[in-house]
Structure 1
Amino acid sequence: MDDSFVLYVIRHLETAANRERRYVGWSDVPVCTETGPAGFFPDCLTGSDLLRCRQTAGFLFPGIPYEPHPEFREADFGAWEMKTYDDLKADVRYRRWINEPTAEHPPGGERFDVLEDRVLRGLDRLRKQKVRSVAIVTHGGPARILLGHLAPERRSFFGWSVPPGGLYRLEWSHRRSWEERNRCTFISEVPITGSENT
């Protein structure tokens, strides 16, 4: 009997603010693109409670119930919310954050360790579900945290490319390994509307 476990980490579809290269945290903006259904159907569909993630889940997995959870929200960017690189590039604090996100945080916003802790709390809740596959529809920051903790290879936070509509498939050969918080045995980046086998 196949005892494997699969986790899909999906970043929401593009928003107008993404196109303008703005930092979008807790602002509840809609997506500006659509897509057809994904080529697979997870046993459990969950992710951020923000509109752009709920819309993306609806496009990709029509008819599948979506469980929204604030643990999978993007970082709260505080005073940097909806700003661009050009708006912020002269800010010394911002430049420190770009170089080392764990050492600095946005004024009035969320520290990296707080973001990381809540994303991992959400992940631990999923480990208690007795299913064989889960899809998490989230944001760029939480997706990088998930990949940083779960992928076989270790990379820096910004070492992961997670564009809007990006999708990673992570597989554990044995579900116990997933439950015990081990890294996955296989990872692949797949087209958002393609078959999981491509």
Structure 2
Amino acid sequence: MDDSFVLYVIRHLETAANRERRYVGWSEVPVCTDAGPAGFVPDYLAGSDLLRCRQTAEFLFPAIPYEPLPEFREADFGAWEMKTYDDLKADVRYRSWINDPAVEHPPGGERFACLEDRVLLGIDQLRKQKVRSAAIVTHGGPARILLSHLAPEPRPFFGWSVPPGGLYRLEWSSRRSWEEGNRCTFISEVPITGSAST
């Protein structure tokens, strides 16, 4: 019997702020694009409690209950919230953060280690679900953290490209391997409304 486990990591659909290349953390901004139902159905659906993720989940999985979890929120960007690169490029602290987000953090905002800890706490909660597949609808930062920790081969945080509407499919050979916290055995980037089968 096939006992594999599949996790879909999905970044929310595009917002107007994404188009303007703004840093959007905990601000409640709606998506400005639509999508039809996803080409797959997970057994369990969870993700960020922020509006743009809830809306994305409704578009992609209209018949599946969504569990909103603050653990999968984007970083709190503090004083840099809703700012653009052009707004911040002269700020020495911002330049330092771009070079190494683990060392610097936004003024009044969240440290990378705190973001990482809460996203991993969310994954620990997800591992308690006795299901064969799950989907997480989240944001760019948390998605990169998830991929950095769960992909077959380690890759740095900024080594992952996760555009709005981006979707990765991660598969473990057994649910036990997933529950034990091992890295997945297979990963693929798939179209958000296309087939997600291997």
TM-score over 0.5 (shorter chain): yes
Q: CA deviation at 1:155?
A: 1.1
Q: CA deviation at 1:94?
A: 0.4
Equivalent residue letter for 2:35: T
TM-score (norm 2): 0.99
Describe the SS at the equivalent of 1:188.
strand
Any gaps of 5 or more consecutive residues in structure 2? none
Q: CA deviation at 1:95?
A: 0.5
Q: In structure 2, what is the equivalent of residue 130 of structure 1? A: 130
Describe the SS at the equivalent of 1:117.
helix
Any gaps of 5 or more consecutive residues in structure 1? none
Describe the SS at the equivalent of 2:124.
helix
Cα displacement string for residues 83-105 of structure 1 (whole angstroms, at most 9, x for unaligned residues): 00000001011001101110000
Q: In structure 2, what is the equivalent of residue 92 of structure 1? A: 92
Equivalent residue letter for 2:63: G
TM-score (norm 1): 0.99
Provide runs of 4+ in structure 1 moved above 6 Å.
none
- 1:127 and 1:6 map into 2 onto residues whose CA distance is 12
Map residues 27-176 of structure 1 onto 2, 5 A cutoff.
27-176=27-176
CA RMSD of aligned residues (A): 0.6
- 2:25 and 2:171 map into 1 onto residues whose CA distance is 29
Q: CA deviation at 1:197?
A: 2.2
- 1:172 and 1:63 map into 2 onto residues whose CA distance is 26
Q: CA deviation at 1:153?
A: 1.4
Describe the SS at the equivalent of 2:135.
strand
Equivalent residue letter for 2:71: E
- 1:153 and 1:160 map into 2 onto residues whose CA distance is 12
- 1:12 and 1:148 map into 2 onto residues whose CA distance is 18
Describe the SS at the equivalent of 2:114.
helix
- 1:124 and 1:141 map into 2 onto residues whose CA distance is 18
